Structure 1
Amino acid sequence: MDTGMQTASTNIGERMGRSQELSDSKRGPVIGCHLCNKSIRDISWLLNIPRSTVSGIITKWKQLGTTATQPPSGRPYNMTERGQCILKRTEVANCLQSIAKDLQTSCGLHISTTTVRREIHGMGFHG
């Protein structure tokens, strides 16, 4: 009888890699068992989920009141924002080139864009 029970249920802990998460339908029974005063070890054994996963689900539920996946912390990566930063860099480079050309025509000296950038930075203009 036990062997039939083991083959019917798959061990989620063996199949689950570090990057995979449990679905909401699998997190619900963990909280249900917790509310029925089951221990973490018992819940882990009943649902075939690692104890660390069960503990994490219960802790998250106690702290946040939900088991839903939260967005990652930190600044979100936004392609348009990165594109705008690149655009700004090219605009700055074009501006430095035009300043260098203007100085070259007015003074008759060859001045590189690096010199212009260094002098503007030395005056206190940054970023």
Structure 2
Amino acid sequence: MNQAAMQDFGKLVLRIALGALILLHGISKLKNGLGPIEGMVLARGLPGFLAYGVLAGEVLAPLMLLFGAYARIGAVIVAINMLFAIALVHMGQLGQLNDQGGWALELQGMFLFTALAIALFGPGRYAINQR
């Protein structure tokens, strides 16, 4: 396998991993509703309709990543979603370590920085629109 093919395959692996893992969170929101998210948004003095942005960040954007359809835009949406999640839910853990010595926000950080990498690298050759 040549270098370009390996890079494209690596981009596919990143897209599938991020898209599938974030989509699971979105499916949970679809099943259980957005009430808790809306409560957090309202508690911060923000308009409640912003809670529906989680559907863009955890359902629409992951599907864009999985199919490689405007994957860079999908990745940016996921990154923005993760910034909101960190700000609304996890800000108190920003400088904390977990019981195993890792960063308390390692999962959120991995989602955020993987999304940024996809936004920068693009979706690769194995995508619907390859941009």
Give the TM-score normalised by the residue count of structure 1: 0.28
Give the TM-score normalised by the residue count of structure 2: 0.28
Compare relative contact order (CA 8 Å, sep 6+) and give the higher one, 1 or 2. Answer: 2
Return the index of the structure with the highest Cα Rg: 1
If each structure's helix is expressed as a fraction of its own residues, which one has the higher value?
A: 2
